[in-house]
Structure 1
């Protein structure tokens, strides 16, 4: 019997320390952008599947 999750609560804390901001490279910001893009793509896929039902 499948289990259906009706609610999902996700909490995250986003922040930067002042000392880390000066040490960030462009590679870090690029990888962050890639992660965000992948997350948005997955959310859009989930929403499209939900509309099909």
Structure 2
């Protein structure tokens, strides 16, 4: 039985780094990882929509 998602809720937590100092565990390119994640999500959503159209 197919599952239809009518609403999606996304929440995020933003933390201040405290005075602009970089922490030791921060990655070199924090935006690059986010952009990759967004691209993967968009790709998956488009794939789901394509599959629904084929039905």
TM-score band (shorter)?
0.5 to 0.7
CA deviations over 1:3-46 (Å, ceiling 9, x no partner): 332336432212422327x4465522101000000000010011
Structure that is richer in helix per residue:
1
Corresponding position of 2:54: 52
- Structure 1 unaligned segments of length 5 or more: list them: none
Hey, what's the Cα distance between the residues in 2 that align with 1:48 and 1:4? 14
- In the superposition, the TM-score normalised over structure 1's length comes to 0.64
Corresponding position of 2:36: 34
- In the superposition, the TM-score normalised over structure 2's length comes to 0.62
Larger RCO: Structure 1 or Structure 2 (Cα < 8 Å, ≥ 6 residues apart)?
Answer: 2
Aligned length: 50
User: What do you get for the CA RMSD once the two structures are aligned?
Assistant: 2.4
